[in-house]
C-alpha cells in the first residue's frame, strides 16, 4: 500500500535492504490512522529479496507519536479498537519477516517511542530524546508500549516517565536501554544502514529465530524455553546456508571474531 507520508526504497548491492521513512515532516511524523495502516501493510508485503529493514523519519524528528488531531472523535470502544489496530501494526514490525533497525533522531515520543520499541535494534543520534507525554494529554499508551517498554527499561522507569513526564536524552536513553547505539548528530541512518548490511549477511533462518523465536523463549517458562531453543538449534543448523557458513570457517574463508 503506497502512502504519501511513507517513503520506501531499496538499497544495498543486491537491493537487500528496505529503507522505510516516515515522511510527514509538517506534523513531525505524527501517526495518523491511515499512516499506521500503511506501515502495517508495508511490513506485511516486503518484497522478495529484502533481508533487513531500516526505519527512520524525515525532518527534525523521528516521530511525534499519535496524531492528536483525531483523538477527540473517539469514545471508549473506539479507543479500544484503535489501540488494537496499532497493536496489529506494531506486531507486523516486531514480527516482520526480516530484522528492523530504527534510525532515531529528535523527538521519539509517545507512539513514536512505541514504534521504535517494536524494532529489533535502535540507533540514536545525539539529538534524540525519549518521552511518554500521554498523561499530559489525558491518555494512556496504546501502541504496545505497556508491554514492550518495561522489557527494555524496566517498569519502574516507565512509571516515572509517565507520571512525571521525564524526558531522557540520547546518552541517558542509551544507558537505560532505549538505544543500542549512540552516534553523533546526523549519523543514525548511516549507522543503521551499516548494521542492516551486517544483519542481511547472516543466515536468514538464524535471523528469523532471533527475531521471532528468541523473544518468545525469553518470556516462556524455562522448561518450555529450553525445548524450543533445542528445536530451533536443530532447525537452523540443518539449513544449507548454515552448512556453507561452517564449511567456510573450517576452510579459513570466514571472518574471525575480533575485539572491535
Which residues contact ligand 1HE (rule: CB under 6 A)? 27-28, 30, 60-61, 64-69, 86, 107, 109-111, 133-134, 137, 139, 141-143
What is the nearest approach in angstroms of ligand 1HE to the Cβ of residue 115?
9
114 catalytic? Reply is yes
- Which of 134, 172, 194, 229 is an active site residue? 134
Residue nearest ligand 1HE by beta-carbon distance = 110
Please return the burial class of 12, using the count of CB atoms within 10 Å of its CB with bins 0-12, 13-18 and 19+.
middle
Catalytic residue among 9, 60, 114, 219: 114
As a whole number of Å, the CA-based R_g of the chain is 19
> Least separation, in Å, of the C-beta of 42 and ligand 1HE?
18
The rounded Cα 20 to chain-centroid distance in angstroms is: 12
Nearest one of 131, 127, 89, 86 to 108, comparing CA atoms: 131
Rounded to a whole number of angstroms, the minimum distance from the CB of residue 60 to ligand 1HE is 6
Residue pair 5/41 in contact (Cβ under 8 Å)? The answer is no
- C-beta closer to ligand 1HE: residue 97 or 144: 144
Nearer to ligand 1HE, 42 or 109 (CB): 109
Nearest approach in angstroms of CB 12 to ligand 1HE is 31
Q: Which is nearer to ligand 1HE, 36 or 100 (CB)?
A: 36
Rounded CA-CA distance 32/85 in Å is 12
- In which element (H, E) is residue 125 found? strand 121-125
Angle in degrees, CA 145, 167, 29, rounded to 5: 60
User: Is 73 noted as a catalytic residue in this protein?
Assistant: no
Active site residues: 114, 134
Amino acid at each position: 500500500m503506497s502512502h504519501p507520508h511513507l517513503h520506501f526504497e531499496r538499497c544495498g548491492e543486491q537491493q537487500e535492504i528496505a529503507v522505510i521513512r516516515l515522511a510527514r515532516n509538517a506534523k513531525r511524523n505524527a501517526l495518523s490512522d491511515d499512516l499506521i495502516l500503511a506501515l502495517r501493510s508495508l511490513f506485511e508485503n516486503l518484497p522478495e529479496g529484502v533481508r533487513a529493514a531500516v526505519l527512520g523519519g524525515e525532518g527534525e524528528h523521528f516521530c511525534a507519536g499519535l496524531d492528536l488531531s483525531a483523538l477527540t472523535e473517539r469514545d471508549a470502544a473506539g479507543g479500544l479498537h484503535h489501540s488494537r489496530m496499532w497493536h496489529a501494526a506494531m506486531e507486523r514490525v516486531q514480527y516482520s519477516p526480516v530484522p528492523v533497525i530504527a534510525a532515531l533522531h529528535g523527538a521519539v515520543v509517545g507512539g513514536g517511542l512505541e514504534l521504535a520499541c517494536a524494532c529489533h535494534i535502535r540507533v540514536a543520534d545525539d539529538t534524540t530524546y525519549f518521552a511518554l507525554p500521554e498523561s499530559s494529554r489525558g491518555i494512556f499508551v496504546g501502541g504496545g508500549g505497556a508491554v514492550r517498554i518495561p522489557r527494555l527499561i524496566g517498569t519502574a522507569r516507565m512509571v516515572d516517565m509517565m507520571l512525571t513526564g521525564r524526558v531522557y536524552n540520547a546518552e541517558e536513553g542509551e544507558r537505560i536501554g532505549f538505544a543500542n547505539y549512540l552516534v553523533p548528530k546526523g549519523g543514525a541512518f548511516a549507522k543503521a544502514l551499516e548494521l542492516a548490511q551486517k544483519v542481511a549477511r547472516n543466515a536468514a533462518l538464524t535471523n528469523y529465530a532471533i527475531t521471532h523465536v528468541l523473544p518468545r523463549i525469553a518470556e516462556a517458562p524455562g522448561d518450555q524455553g529450553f525445548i524450543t531453543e533445542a528445536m530451533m538449534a536443530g532447525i537452523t543448523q540443518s539449513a544449507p546456508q548454515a552448512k556453507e557458513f561452517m564449511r567456510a570457517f573450517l576452510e579459513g574463508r570466514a571472518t574471525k571474531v575480533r575485539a572491535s
